[in-house]
Amino acid sequence: MNAGTLGPIKKTNLIRQSIIKNNLDINLFSNKIIIDFLINNKINFKSLIAISSGASINTKYGWFTYALSKVSLRFLIENYALENKKLHFINYNPGLIETKMQKKLRSIDSKIIPSVKIFKDLYNLHKIQNPHEASINLFNNLDFLLRQKSGSYIDSRKI
């Protein structure tokens, strides 16, 4: 499951609280609504895999809003795992995927937000997977993910 928006990439003090709240509504609370529905209605699932991000481990200059939402989602999934021992939850970081988010990052001036330079470089080196490649990668890793401890954070690039 994934609901995601990048939000503004700029210095934290320049971001209005209402923008941060909107990002949390999309990236965090929409996922919580879905998970609560599944649990409260006793809908069986083999594993719930939340799409995580490296931003849930390390933030970057200008990335407060996105990183906050992703670390919050990571903790949400970890808490569900702690509180629901009979269910299986995973935080899965698929790595970089060519999406509208990536295009937005590449449009940002790296002189203003230095942290976007790496994404431009990786794009130019053809090191960003397309959505089809990412989905194949996830499919190929499903057996591995199901064997991991519930609540784990798994980076696909380290499997």
pLDDT tens per residue across span 115-154: 999 999 999 999 999 999 999 999 999 999 999 999 999 9
Report the C-alpha gap between 84 and 103 in whole angstroms.
38
Beta carbons of 53 and 68 less than 8 angstroms apart: no
> Cα 78–48–98 angle (5° rounding)?
95
Tell me yes or no: is domain 12-158 CATH 1.20.120.530. no
pTM listed for this prediction: 0.92
How many other C-beta atoms are found inside a 10 Å radius of the C-beta of residue 80? 22
Burial category of 62 from C-beta neighbours within 10 Å (exposed 0-12, middle 13-18, buried 19 and up): buried
Residues belonging to the chain: 159
Q: So where are the chain's domains?
A: 12-158
- 1 pLDDT band, cuts 50/70/90, is low
pLDDT of the residue at 4: 78
Average pLDDT, rounded, for the chain: 96
